[in-house]
Amino acid sequence: MKIPEDLTKEQLINDLIKLRQRINELTTINDELQSCNKEATQLNNDLFNVLRGVEIPIVLLGSELQIRRFNDAAARLLNLTPTDVGRPLSDIRINISIPDLAQMFHNVINTLVMTQREVQDDSDRWYLLTIRPYKTVDNRTDGVLMTLVDINDIKLSLLRVKEAYDYANDIVETVREPLLILDSGLKVITANRSFYKNFQAIPGETENRFIYDLGDRQWNIPSLRNLLEEVLSEDKVFSDFEVELELPNIGRKVMILNARKIYLKEAYVKTALNMAKHLDRLILLAIEDITERKRTEEALRASSARYRSFIEVTGELGWATNADGEVVEDIPFWRAYTGQTYEEVQGQGWAKALHPEDLEHTLRIWRKAVTENSRYEVEYRIRRHDGVYRHFMVRGKPVLNEDGSIREWVGTCIDISERNESEEKIMKLNESLQRRALDLERAYKDMKSFSNAAAHDLRSPLITIEGFSNILMEDYAEKLDDRGKDYLKRVGDSTKKMNRLIADLLAFSKISTKEIQSSEFNMEALTQKLVEELNPTFGERKIKFEIKRLPSAYGDMTMINQVLVNLLSNAIKFTRTRETAVIEVGGYTKNDENIYYVLDNGTGFDMQFSDRLFGLFQRIHSLNDVEGTGIGLVIVKNIIEKHGGRVWAEGKPDEGAKFYFTLPKKEE
């Protein structure tokens, strides 16, 4: 370079100094750029490892729905290759057929509302498709995030359980006798059509009520209640328990009750019947209306044609013998059914129509009854005139003379083939349902293990990101400008939010699997204690708590403590814009439950979005308006429903909110 002749030595030195300064400034800027590039590379590597370590298929799409990134699980499931990056997903034939997938993407981008759908791949395997908006750090929507969770085992198990339950329900509905299914608390779970028809009842006045509270409490029979409790506690079966009731609008009814215990796994029952307790042991109660038979028997005692009249009324097989137990008179209904002649029936010839395997046992019981003058009851198979054997319940009793001696025996044979077949089918179905329930339980445990493993794998890279961010902030703060420090702060805030989200998800998982340890406790004292514990978190805020009279609660105190913490924290969070926050906790008793509420004068909400309050990963307020993961209310709902209660909320924008939850009262 040629130096001007008129340039002095001093000017030359000054220009060299300025040039040196510019070189130093460029060197500093270059160092900063290299540091930022290294940081971006590290973050990109961390994101790559996070996606690679998660076995859930994940696909990131840009604003034009072009593929931006996907993990290995998505590549395997959707048949994606690295060359597909940058291509619209709609141009690629994936292994899952979703005709309106593009429309779903556009709806999520336009409404900013997550959407879910159950879909099947080419091999008919079930997945839960979730599409949610992709948000940048400056809260811009820049595409969508798509995940596919394998729910095939759970889906198929639920379908099999529903089919089995529907099959069992169809069997129960076809049984001619009124049937009740009771839980271990003696509450009615369900009844068949025959019950409602015979007793002029409706499901709303029958289901979920104690059997001894049905109607006008006509079923409040201490001896019946004792027998039912013995069925549960001692695995007993009772048969032919006779009761006589006076029913409104029906009149007098005489019935024979038969009951046995059936077993159903709790996990299945919760899924199939959508109930929450007393369902580990059930009672099948069969009711046989013998009113007409009783009336006929009473009429027969005053008539020489006692047993013939009974046969004409009931259509069952009737029989009569002399005092020694031998047939001497004609029994035409028996002959018509078996095809035997009058001569073949005489004496004990009737026994030749019995199944050979039942003959010895039947004759032994019959001779014993004749010898001891006792009631005769036995079950055996009778050969019909076409050669088919049918199961019969045979009952007989002696007719006495005035002096107490036996004049004759009369009895009936009732065809119970359908009932036996139904009971056998129910038993087999019960065994099948138990196996299905075990399959569901194993699937649930596998899902829980996967949740814990996924949470651990997600936390590890977050800890790394947070650690390196802290190192950059502490050791290289002087080399970072304000923008660089702001970026690092955003990275740190995001990792903390992700950690809170993972912690809340694990808490939700633990609550879902924890068993309830119920006891009675003072809800008012528990609330006061929580308010005192939360007081240090208020800072300089003015918060006025009003704790009304609260009924005592019955449930798991640790879980209910978590419910109150979540609801109170929620109220504190959403009243922070108020000069003086007012939070009220109250409760009252109604029918068979205690109702509690938490009321605040905070920002409130629009009731049209109330269905999203208790949904997982669903929020009404923006993350920029309030902090939190949105899982707190989901945990509240889960805990209360595990207790058999309900949860709901009321509110208006800028006028506060009121959250309710109920707990069943302690059973006496």
CATH number, span 316-415: 3.30.450.20
User: Which has the closest alpha carbon to 276: 655, 666, 638, 584?
Assistant: 638
H-run or E-run covering 302:
none
Sign of CA pseudo-dihedral 427, 432, 433, 435: positive
What is the torsional sign of CA 358, 359, 360, 361? positive
230-243 as b/e, with b when 16 or more CB fall inside 10 Å?
A: ebbeeeeeeeebee
pLDDT at 646: 93
Strands (E), 29-110: 58-61, 67-70
Count CB-CB contacts under 10 A for residue 347. Answer: 14
Say how far residue 53 (Cα) sits from the centre of its chain: 31
- Which stretch of 133-137, 147-151, 163-167, 294-298 has the lowest confidence by average pLDDT? 163-167
Give the per-residue pLDDT at 162. Answer: 72
Beta strands in 25-140 (DSSP E): 58-61, 67-70, 115-120, 126-135
Window from 224-233, 373-382, 603-612 with minimum mean pLDDT = 603-612
Between CA 630 and CA 646 the distance in angstroms is 19
Provide the 8-state DSSP code for 128.
E
Query: pLDDT band at 454, cuts 50/70/90?
Result: low
From the list 423, 418, 441, 419, the residue with the least C-alpha distance to 161 is 441
CB burial readout 174-205, b (16+ within 10 A) else e: ebebbbbbbbbebbbbbbbebbeebbebeeee
pLDDT in tens, 326-366: 888 887 878 888 888 888 888 888 888 889 998 888 888 88
- Where helices occur in 339-416 by DSSP H, the ranges are 342-345, 356-372
Tokens representing residue 190 in the block:
């369900």
With tokens 């029906």, the residue in question is 250
Domain 516-664 has CATH 3.30.565.10: yes
- Binned at pLDDT 50, 70 and 90, residue 585 comes out as very high
Q: Where in the chain is the domain with CATH 3.30.450.20?
A: 316-415
Query: What integer best gives the mean pLDDT of the chain?
Result: 80
- Least confident segment among 48-57, 203-212, 363-372, 396-405: 48-57
Whether the CB-CB separation of 57 and 69 falls below 8 Å is answered with no
User: What is the percent of the chain with per-residue pLDDT over 90, rounded to a whole number?
Assistant: 10
Q: What is the pLDDT of residues 229-282, one digit of tens each?
A: 888 887 778 888 888 888 888 888 888 989 888 765 544 444 444 443 445 578
Residue-wise pLDDT tens digits, 599-656: 999 988 888 877 777 766 556 555 455 555 567 788 888 889 888 999 999 999 988 9
Question: Which of the pair, 142 or 279, is modelled with greater confidence?
Answer: 142
User: pLDDT band at residue 133, thresholds of 50, 70 and 90?
Assistant: very high
Angle between helices 482-513 and 9-53 (to 10 degrees): 10
Alpha-carbon span 618 to 186, nearest angstrom: 39
Question: Tens digits of per-residue pLDDT, 188-221?
Answer: 888 888 888 888 888 888 888 998 888 888 888 8
Indicate whether this model's pTM tops 0.85. no
CB 245 within 8 A of CB 219: yes
Reduce the DSSP state of residue 489 to 3 states and report it: helix
- Do residues 648 and 522 touch, judged by C-beta distance below 8 A? no
Question: For the chain, what is the radius of gyration of the CA atoms?
Answer: 39
d(CA 303, CA 181): 40
Structure tokens at 655: 């006028």
Q: Which residue has the tokens 């060197």?
A: 27
Rounded to whole angstroms, the Cα distance separating 16 from 11 reads 9
d(CA 260, CA 284): 6
* pLDDT at residue number 276: 39
- 346's CB contacts (< 8 A; 6+ apart) are 326, 327, 328
More confident call, 529 vs 502 = 529
Residues 222 and 246: beta-carbon distance below 8 Å: no
pLDDT at 598: 94
The confidence score (pLDDT) of residue 513 equals 62
CA atoms within 13 A on the CB side of 506: 15
- Structure token digits, residue 442: 């194993």
Lowest mean pLDDT among 54-68, 224-238, 496-510: 496-510
Report d(CA 290, CA 242) in Å as an integer: 9
Q: Give the C-alpha separation, 237 to 224, whole Å.
A: 13
29 φ/ψ sector (left φ>0, alpha ψ -120 to 50, else beta): alpha
Amino acid 114 reads: M
Q: Among all chains, which residue has been given the structure tokens 């409760």?
A: 587
CATH 3.30.565.10 domain position(s) in the chain: 516-664
The span from the CA of 383 to the CA of 442, in Å, is 48
**Rounded alpha-carbon distances, angstroms, from residue 27 to 17, 282, 473:** 15, 81, 21
How does 363-373 read in b/e, with b if 16+ C-beta sit within 10 Å?
Answer: bebbeebbeee
d(Cα 179, Cα 286) in Å, to the nearest integer? Answer: 5
Q: Which residues make beta-bridge pairs with 45?
A: none
Q: Is the dihedral of CA 598, 601, 603, 604 positive or negative?
A: positive
3-state secondary structure of 262: strand
Say how many C-beta atoms besides its own lie within 10 A of residue 643's C-beta.
22
The CA distance from 119 to 92, in Å, is 18
Can you give the pLDDT at residue 270? 44
For residues 6 and 8, what is the distance between their CA atoms, to the nearest angstrom? 6
Instruction: Give the position of tokens 């129509």.
Output: 353
- What 3-state class would DSSP assign to 71? coil
